[in-house]
Structure formats: C-alpha cells, structure tokens
Amino acid sequence: MLRTPASSARTVPHQVDEPPIVHHPIDMLYPVTVATDLGPARSALKDCGVALAKLDETCCIPVRSPCMRELGDTLRGAAATLDGAADASTTGIVLTTLEDAGAQVGRLQVGCCAPDRIPLFARILEGLTTAQLAVNKALGQAH
C-alpha cells in the first residue's frame, strides 16, 4: 500500500477568480428591429383568432365557451404585446404567452367530440408555431 506523507493529505480548497455573473437586458443580447420582423407573427395570430371564432360558432357544448373565450383573450394579449413591442424584452414575453395558448388549444382539442373540427385546431397550432418562429427570428434565435 502506498502511503502519502501527512502534509499532502490535507486538501486546500482551490480558489478561482471568476468574473461576476452579469445579467444583461434581453434587448442587449438580441438586437431586433421589432417593427419589421414581427409581421408574420401578427398575421399568424390574426388567423388563429379567425379559426377560433369558427370553432366557437360550431361548438355543441356550451360549457366549453369559457375555455374558448380564455384562449381568445390569450391570443389577443399576445397580439397586443406584439403590437406594442418596442424592444426584444417586450417581444420575448410573447413566447410564454404563445406556449400558454398552445396548452389551451391542446386541452380544447382533446376534449372535442367532433373530428371535423380537428383541422381548425391544427390551423391554430400551426399559427402559434408560425408566430413563435417569427418571434425567435426577430430575437436572433432562429435555427
């Protein structure tokens, strides 16, 4: 068995001088020209609203109307945020709203009793994806 001297058995914590973590506002990290980059997102959200209106008109279960109104409010909120977007930090907030809208669409679609409405749900989900991709592109995060 190899023995080491007692003095080498002590461990001295290694200290590394690391620079402090600096948090930058998102608009410094992702420069965008919001006015021109978000047109596809705005158009996609408008189309989502049209498809949602058709779903609401044809739904046979009145109890689902509050869920559809909530989704409509979410879509309008995302559109309003985009319309008022002055910088990337405002624009980035929309991504979370789009995710919430996608979850709401999923809940509505899974509970739908009419297969002929599936294309409307798919249209909304595609619109949300189009909006998300446009926002990511505006933020410089496109792949």
> Residue 5: its pLDDT value, please?
52
Spatial CA neighbour of 114 closest among 64, 69, 44: 64
Q: Which fold has domain 31-58+65-138?
A: Ferritin (1.20.1260)
The answer to whether residues 48 and 139 touch, using CB atoms and an 8 Å cutoff, is no
Beta-carbon contacts of 38 under 8 Å, excluding residues fewer than 6 positions away, are 82, 85, 91, 134, 135, 138
Ordered alpha helix ranges (H), 39-117: 39-58, 65-83, 88-110
pLDDT at 60: 86
pLDDT of residue 97: 93
pLDDT at 22: 46
Cβ contacts of residue 33 below 8 Å, gap of 6+?
A: 138
User: 112 CB contacts (<8 Å, ≥6 apart)?
Assistant: 118, 121
Quick one: pLDDT at residue 37?
75
pLDDT in tens, the chain (143 residues): 455 555 445 444 555 555 555 444 444 444 444 545 788 999 999 999 999 999 999 888 877 888 999 999 999 999 998 888 766 667 778 899 999 999 999 999 998 888 899 999 999 999 999 999 999 888 888 77
pLDDT of 63 reads: 78
Closest C-alpha among 121, 123, 69, 130 to residue 98: 130
Domain range summary for the chain, segments of one domain joined by +? 31-58+65-138
